[in-house]
Amino acid sequence: MVPKCANEYWKRMSNPIKLVLPYGVERKVNWTKRGENIWLEQSWEKVVELCGLSYEWLLTFDYNGMSRFEVKVYDTNTLRVAYYKEYDVENNKDVDDDDDDDEFVQEHFKRKKTNTDLKCWTPG
């Protein structure tokens, strides 16, 4: 649900919006307004797949201007899920981002699949 104070911003928001996923890849997602709610639609399923989202996880969307939102993902314990970018050992460098090639993203940007394997930030 969108806070009432944010409703004015949605009148000026482009469609699609840009979501910056936790590992830096940017995806365009269409939205519609239904009553007081904003629904993410076209391309949202791809975001769910790329982030490996699970039922009851919490997402926050930090607005960065120009219709761009940084997505932060929290598990059922409200711990922020740490995503990582794999390292290219053969070439001794980080794998480059390529937000237009979904196969590249799926192959090189992965989140560990079980909660016991998640690297999560904890206050300490």
CATH of the domain at 31: 2.40.330
pLDDT of residue 23: 84
122 assigned to some structural domain:
no
61: domain range? 4-116
80 assigned to some structural domain:
yes
123 assigned to some structural domain:
no
Residue range 47-76: mean pLDDT, rounded: 92
103 assigned to some structural domain:
yes
Mean pLDDT of the chain: 75
As a whole number of angstroms, the distance between CA 24 and CA 116 comes to 24
- With 80 as the cut, is the pLDDT of residue 59 above it? yes
Number of domains within the chain: 1
Bridge partners (DSSP) of residue 94 are 87
As a whole number of angstroms, the distance between CA 32 and CA 38 comes to 6
- With 50 as the cut, is the pLDDT of residue 86 above it? no
Phi, psi of 112 (to 5 degrees): -60, 140
96 assigned to some structural domain:
yes
- With 70 as the cut, is the pLDDT of residue 75 above it? yes
17 assigned to some structural domain:
yes
pLDDT band at residue 24, thresholds of 50, 70 and 90?
A: confident
As a whole number of angstroms, the distance between CA 98 and CA 86 comes to 14
94 assigned to some structural domain:
yes
- With 80 as the cut, is the pLDDT of residue 103 above it? no
124 assigned to some structural domain:
no
CB 75 within 8 A of CB 115: yes
As a whole number of angstroms, the distance between CA 112 and CA 118 comes to 6
pLDDT of residue 119: 43
